[in-house]
Amino acid sequence: MSIVKPVRFDYETQIDIIEELCAEYPFISPRVLSRTCLGRSVFALDIGSKSNKVLLCAGFHGSEWLGCLAVLKFAERLANCIQNNRLLSGVEVRRAFSNLGITLVPCVNPDGTEIAVNGLEGAKSLRKFVEKIAGDDIEKYNANAKGVDINHNFNAGWQILRQIEIENGITGPSSRQYGGEYPESEAETKAIANLCRKEPFRQVMAIHSQGEELYWQYGENTPTQAEMMAKILADSCSYSLVYNGGLASHGGFKDWFIEEFGRPGFTLEIGKGENPLPINDFIRIYARIEEALLIFSLM
């Protein structure tokens, strides 16, 4: 029986799924990376070897919660095939993950996700503040509870991005695209950055939505093999390769990882349409990207 089902994803759903996954597959190791300003945990799940790992993250933006389900579904599918010695996309994953590992962070921004899914109740003590900056657009809320866009808060061209934000009229806390007072000002950003500093991931991938696109480069530290890896990943799910531009050109997680470590980083924009993507699209979207997630894990 499937644990991860097409349901609206919120904080309690995430906890329930993680508890069920860890009960069914005891070799999945859960941990808490940090807590948000509203006290919600940023969870990580570890599968396979403790070394030679990759990092897969989702839920940077509140309205993009379908990606959180995708990460948890991949964890379930991978764990099931390891436990039962089954093939996943033709790969003997039990053998592969005896020497390889993956860390999965299903939801980097649990406060923003809770606000987008459950409305102002999810903002708790910051309800009035969030109501002020979000207005009637709560379902499309992307920032954390303090009005900072986590994927604008990493230290990769942050000053350049800040100027672009100002030119676009974004001068303070907002429901989207405000990069904060300084890089890594937010607990959620620090949690992911510190994780990467402590654990030498071979490569990282951030799942966002939407566009059916793959981003792979940033600045002069983009490794030479990244373009070929990106082509393989994009071909496996028939997504388009895209270069950064505009308000997506700096400050993101994959940008920072490439800049900081000179190792491959990718952003996978799943699905097409308007965020939040319809839950009815989940099965189709996930089926299309599963092989790409596995290839990313094995590269």
Cis upstream peptide for 203 (omega within 30°) = no
Binned at pLDDT 50, 70 and 90, residue 248 comes out as low
User: pLDDT value at position 247?
Assistant: 56
- Write out the H or E segment, with its range, that includes residue 282: helix 282-298
User: pLDDT value at position 251?
Assistant: 95
Question: How much of the chain exceeds pLDDT 70, in percent?
Answer: 98
pLDDT for residue 245 is more than 70: no
pLDDT tens for 196-222 read: 999 999 999 999 999 999 999 999 999
pLDDT tens for 262-297 read: 999 999 999 999 999 999 999 999 999 999 999 999
Lowest mean pLDDT, pick from 49-58, 242-251, 267-276: 242-251
Binned at pLDDT 50, 70 and 90, residue 103 comes out as very high
Give the whole-angstrom CA distance, residue 97 versus residue 84.
Answer: 13
pLDDT tens for 266-275 read: 999 999 999 9
pLDDT for residue 105 is more than 80: yes
User: pLDDT value at position 136?
Assistant: 86
Mean pLDDT of the chain: 96
User: pLDDT value at position 246?
Assistant: 60
- Residues in CB range of 150: below 8 A, 6 or more apart: 60, 61, 108, 109, 112, 143, 144, 186, 188, 189, 253
Quick one: CA dihedral 170, 175, 176, 179, positive or negative?
positive
Which amino acid is residue 221, in one-letter code? N
DSSP 204: E
pLDDT tens for 26-45 read: 999 999 999 999 999 999 99
Q: Which of 56, 155, 57, 173 is closest to 110 using CA atoms? A: 57
Binned at pLDDT 50, 70 and 90, residue 249 comes out as confident
Binned at pLDDT 50, 70 and 90, residue 243 comes out as confident
User: pLDDT value at position 137?
Assistant: 87
